[in-house]
Amino acid sequence: MAMRLAVWWVRLVYVAWMVPAGLNHFIQLYPQPTGNQDMSTGVFLALIDSGMFTLVKAVELGAGLMLLFGWRVPLALVMVLPVSFTVWYWDTELQGWWTPSAIYGWGVLGCNVFLLYAYRASYKTMWEGYAAPRWPWHKVQPGEAQS
Amino acid sequence: MMRPLDMLRLALGAIMVPTALAYFLPDLLPFVRTATWEGAMAVRLMDQLDASGLLAVAKFVQLVGGLALLLNRAVPFALAAMVTVNVCGAFVAVIIEGAPGLSVLALGVLALNALLMFAYIEAYAGVLANGALADGEEEEPGANYNSLFVNPLAGASRKQLLVALAPLLGAAWFFWQVVLGLNSLTGLVVLVLPALVWLVSFVRAKG
């Protein structure tokens, strides 16, 4: 029961964080932090100016909505992991390990990793017991071995 | 005899590993040619990613994923990890740099990555499944997130809904008291949706 409640709390917090954070790039809800160190600001502005930040925020918003509406949650958690990692890296290594920024970084990555752990049963087949690869257009014939 | 899909797997591994190694140990493989950026925006972005260490992270993912492909170990996982790097590579090559040669190469690598993922699609069955349950959750209504905070018609009992109120109130308290600035308000606005679902479920629930 404790694990179940913890999963629900983390998921609610994570969703309520990610959806506005992703949406904020497309519809400004609050000023976007651009960093207060040379390196963090440089990376952030390069991502914004190049358009890559739009890709990042689209993934964040999409995954947030998937979690909010309970649609393919394990996929959403995997999709957003690179974003969570980059947020964590930016908030800690680039902004400073002992800054308020770092707390947000640890929070975002921590929620993502905790939920990945909670849904670990969904990822088992990626590691073991998977079928042999076959061409996507190849249909399995009756009696043909699955693996 | 080696199957064509195994050859494609080895080919992608053989592209990923040397290009990643050439980043970390440029003198080890001087004959390996890596992407050379010329556009001002692409150069600026890649310089920033390089200086910040983020490019090294991407190259590390590429190296480990490529080795997994060559060794035929945890291939579906390796492909999923590398697809992010290859999407970013294609984005830089096609959208930012816009050089035809680089774009064709980057899109080719991405297509190969995607084709192999489709070839291993059964390994992603759990990841792609709808209605997956987390640790501690159960199928019955009221014992999983979706039946409490997504679907108001799931049929959770009042007792189960009262238990589920604890994490909902906890999340609301967190955004109200702990989170600072406008993030606090926007977080609370998002929580209105699961709260409404909870409320409708509670009104509909019997006993």
A147: pLDDT confidence band, cut at 50, 70 and 90?
A: very low
| Residue A144, pLDDT above cutoff 80 | no
Q: State how far the Cα of B191 lies from the Cα of B205, in Å rounded to an integer.
A: 21
Alpha-carbon distance values, B56 to B25, B161, B193 (Å): 12, 47, 40
Q: Do A8 and B92 touch (CB under 8 A)?
A: no
Residues A1-18 pLDDT 10s: 889 999 999 999 999 999
Q: List per-residue pLDDT tens for chain B, 207 residues long.
A: 568 889 999 999 999 999 999 999 888 877 877 778 888 999 999 999 999 999 999 999 999 999 999 999 999 999 999 999 999 999 999 999 988 999 999 999 999 999 999 999 999 999 999 889 999 999 999 899 999 999 999 988 999 999 999 999 999 999 999 998 898 999 999 999 999 999 999 999 875
pLDDT at residue number B1: 55
> How far does B85 lie from chain A, in Å, by closest CA?
9
Residues A117-138 pLDDT 10s: 999 999 998 888 777 888 888 7
pLDDT at residue number B64: 97
- Residue in B40, B179, B52 with CA at minimum distance from that of residue A44: B52
> Contacts of residue A19 in chain B, CB cutoff 8 Å?
190
> Contacts of residue A8 in chain B, CB cutoff 8 Å?
145, 148-149, 164, 167-168
Average pLDDT, chain A: 91
Query: With a CB-CB cutoff of 8 Å, which residues 68-127 of chain A face chain B?
Result: 68-75, 78, 82, 85-86, 89, 93-94, 115, 117-127
- The secondary structure of B84-117 as a DSSP string is HHHHHHHIIIIIII--HHHHHHHHHHHHHHHHHH
Query: How far is residue B47 CA from its own chain's centroid?
Result: 24
Q: State how far the Cα of B144 lies from the Cα of B167, in Å rounded to an integer.
A: 13
Q: Do A12 and B77 touch (CB under 8 A)?
A: no
| A12 in contact with B, Cβ within 8 Å | yes
pLDDT at residue number A137: 83
> Contacts of residue A20 in chain B, CB cutoff 8 Å?
183, 186-187, 189-190
- Residue in B42, B33, B27, B151 with CA at minimum distance from that of residue B91: B42
Pick from A21, A49, A74: CB nearest B132 = A74
Cβ count within 10 A of residue A84: 23
Residues A68-120 pLDDT 10s: 999 999 999 999 999 999 999 999 999 999 999 999 999 999 999 999 999 99
Which value does ipTM take for this structure?
0.90
Chain A with chain B: Cβ pairs closer than 8 A = 200
> How far does A70 lie from chain B, in Å, by closest CA?
6
Q: Where are the alpha helices (DSSP H) in chain B?
A: 4-24, 40-52, 54-71, 75-90, 100-119, 125-128, 145-149, 158-173, 182-204
Q: Do B137 and A52 touch (CB under 8 A)?
A: no
Is residue A30 a contact partner of residue B182, using CB atoms and an 8 Å limit?
yes
> What pTM was computed for the model?
0.91
| Residue A44, pLDDT above cutoff 60 | yes
Q: Do B186 and A133 touch (CB under 8 A)?
A: no
| Residue A139, pLDDT above cutoff 80 | no
3-state secondary structure of B178: helix
Q: Which one-letter amino acid corresponds to residue B46?
A: M
